[in-house]
Amino acid sequence: MSKVCLCRGVTEEKIIKVVKAGATTFQDVKEETGAGTGGCNGDRCRYKIESLIKDNK
């Protein structure tokens, strides 16, 4: 499992799962998984999360 959000340990698989369940924005993913809520406030993972949203709609 590859981690996308290192601060919170959220994996790519978990993000794809919530996107497939209806998350359509970074904020949606953040609320559902906690990704982007760590010490960096999403500075490190936001681009990857947004890319996963786009690729898995």
Whether 4 and 13 have beta carbons less than 8 Å apart is answered as no
Which tokens is 44 given? 């490190």
pLDDT given at position 1: 74
Q: How far is CA 22 from CA 7, 27, 32, in A?
A: 24, 12, 10
Domains (range + CATH), the chain? 3-55 (1.10.10.1100)
> Which mean pLDDT values do the consecutive 10-residue runs of the chain (57 residues) have?
94 98 98 96 95 96
Beta bridge partners of 5: 10
pTM: 0.92
